[in-house]
Chain A
Amino acid sequence: MVERRPFATFLAHVVLILGIVVVAFPIWVTFVASTHHAKDIMTAPIPLWPGTQFFENYRKLLFEGMINPTAGGVPMWRMMTNSFIMAMIIALGKIFVSFIAAFAIVYFRFPFRMAVFWIIFMTLMLPVEVRIVPTFKVVADLGLLNSYAGLTIPLIASATATFLFRQFFLTVPDELAEAARIDGAGPVKFMKDILLPLSRTNLAALFVIMFTFGWNQYLWPLLMTTDRQYLTVVMGIQRMINVADTDPQWPLVMAAVILAMLPPVAVVLLMQRWFIKGLVDTEK
């Protein structure tokens, strides 16, 4: 900061520290809980320091899964793989489809171009939750229930990303496209050699958002899959808690929560380098 006012600095730190405590404390408690015996965390006072069961709990969760009727012993690694595949396909698929769609809308003159754009734009108002019944019917009729295709395709068509790419393309000077045209780059080459590298900050940002979006999907996978093969992390956690007659195995649930958090965090950290590089490098 350029300004140096001791009180303001102090206040800023207080606010930041408070924020961190509010966000981080529950995560800490979750982590601590995941390293104890079930009975230890059910008795007051709840422990605030990690216990001895870290390896045992995580091993059990990752490779054996929870033995209860609904979670049905699907190991955590399986669920994480499912979630990861789903989130990756959704994120990459969305980016690919929207990039191409925005490219067409901005750089080609075809009949009803604006109409197409507005139709795409209007679907912004129709997220999966709103159109869930017809979408389910379509997917079911196509025989895509219990498959990765069924899990991901209905979530891929994305107006948000198309819209964002369009706005970005509009800020790229026309002369750049014209210079490329004179330089003998056809549309595909222009897209690949010029537009794509210029968009990398946007790509990274969208990838983070879309990956998290895909990873956190709950309702759609819940409807779509009956086969335990396709259990995702978010669904899995819900099922772990849903037990009849006994207490849930809280340490394992907490461990699952901690594990569920890791991939999105990793994606953010990885992509962060790109953002910063992009922000420093970008110039139109």
Chain B
Amino acid sequence: MASVALENVSKVYPGGVEAIKGLSLSIANGSFTVLLGPSGCGKSTLLRMIAGLETITDGTCKIGDRVVNDVEPADRDIAMVFQNYALYPHMSVYDNMAYGLRNRKTPKPEIERRVREAAKMLAIEDYLDRRPRALSGGQRQRVAMGRAIVREPQAFLFDEPLSNLDAKLRLQMRIEIRRLHNRLKATSIFVTHDQVEAMTLADVVVVMNHGRIEQVGKPTDVYNRPATRFVATFIGSPAMNLIPGRVIGRGKVEIPGSGTLEFDPDEFEVADGTSVEVGIRPEDMSVAAPGESNGFAIQPEFVEELGPNRLVHGLAGGAPLVLSVSSSTRDLGNGAVALHVPEHRVHVFDTTTGRALRRG
């Protein structure tokens, strides 16, 4: 197992598309890192550059201590699991898993041992003689993982391996992947555009957008302390509310036409009079109890019932606002409703750069 380090890598596809723009990232040995971002942000490109399937236009890619820019994929000692599994259709499950080892001249008994062991781990022992065609999607997925596991590589690379599965199976495989990781402790890089997958699987989440990294951090960090407006709105569902406002004193921001909000002045540093964007998650607000003051008013427009909770869509000072309340909350009626937000749940972003205005 090894760490992976990218220094200033960029990728320009023939035809001029700049998919990765000078990106640096270091992935710790044994960690489970998830690359998360919207479609087309360059996640797959980055993963494929690490795998060696795409050339690196600029910068260096290191696996362990070795610069691998010009090393063939087979010699990088990585294993990859593809979205469509990419199993060899004409080979049995056993041969699919053994193929890479045979090409590396691994002794036969050793191949046998590793394949059996992986098959046992993945509960596919009964299918070893079958062709991939005769397997269900979930079973194929396991075979694809088995093919990676038997290689005992330095790093596992996954490119949206669960997106072809139905919702229930996806959940199950997600848990299994995590369990496998806890057991094998192998460096894993996992690409997905599903934030739930990212939050539940990752030790470290790398949020990407337009070929750049927006934030690297623990799942709780990217949720609780988003570094940019993009991360703030990308993570969390429904998305974080962004409301334009103006700082009117230490830890105080005015929402024009709606009220005044307090934020944590030890967390955010903003000069008086600055125009900012205030970010509040729908689930961080509640209907103000008498005496609670930190908040502003929402003019409810319509309500979505989701079962356990309820989304109230409305306007606050002219900006659209979504509020998530528990289903047991009383009906808000039609008039303006005062809301309360704990001050440490208020995020402040620079209007022009979109960066969170955190101290330090």
> A260 to nearest B CB, angstroms?
37
Q: Is A183 touching B99 in the complex (CB atoms < 8 A)? A: yes
Interface size on A, residues (CB 8 A): 20
Q: How far, in whole Å, are A196 and B323 apart by their CA atoms in the complex?
A: 59
| Chain B residues in 8 Å Cβ range of A282 | 89
The segment from B79-87, B200-208, B264-272, B278-286 that touches chain A is B79-87
If A175-B84, A179-B82 touch, whether A184 touches B89 (CB-CB below 8 Å) is no
Q: Which residue of A lies closest to B72 (CB)?
A: A181
Is A4 part of the contact surface with B, judged by Cβ < 8 Å? no
Q: Is A181 touching B88 in the complex (CB atoms < 8 A)? A: no
Residues of A at the B interface (CB closer than 8 Å) are 173, 175-176, 178-185, 189, 193-194, 197-198, 281-284
Q: Is A182 touching B80 in the complex (CB atoms < 8 A)? A: yes
Q: Is B89 touching A183 in the complex (CB atoms < 8 A)? A: no
Q: How far, in whole Å, are A185 and B95 apart by their CA atoms in the complex?
A: 14
Q: Is A194 touching B53 in the complex (CB atoms < 8 A)? A: no
Q: Give the A-B contact count at a CB cut-off of 8 A.
A: 64
Q: Which residue of A lies closest to B134 (CB)?
A: A283
Chain B 47-74, CB within 8 Å of chain A: the 1/0 string?
A: 0000111000000000000000000111
> B49 to nearest A CB, angstroms?
13
Q: Is A182 touching B84 in the complex (CB atoms < 8 A)? A: no
Q: How far, in whole Å, are A282 and B73 apart by their CA atoms in the complex?
A: 28
Q: Which of A181, A184, A189 contacts B53 (CB 8 A)?
A: A181
Q: Is A182 touching B100 in the complex (CB atoms < 8 A)? A: yes
Q: How far, in whole Å, are A182 and B151 apart by their CA atoms in the complex?
A: 10
A-B contact pairs, 12 of them (CB 8 A): A175-B82, A175-B84, A178-B73, A179-B82, A179-B87, A182-B52, A182-B78, A182-B80, A183-B74, A184-B100, A193-B99, A283-B131
Is B344 part of the contact surface with A, judged by Cβ < 8 Å? no
Q: Which residue of A lies closest to B98 (CB)?
A: A183
Q: Is B99 touching A178 in the complex (CB atoms < 8 A)? A: no
Q: Which of B53, B100, B132, B133 contacts A183 (CB 8 A)?
A: B100
> B111 to nearest A CB, angstroms?
13
> B34 to nearest A CB, angstroms?
21
Looking at A176, A180, A183, the one whose CB has the most chain B CB atoms below 10 A away is A183
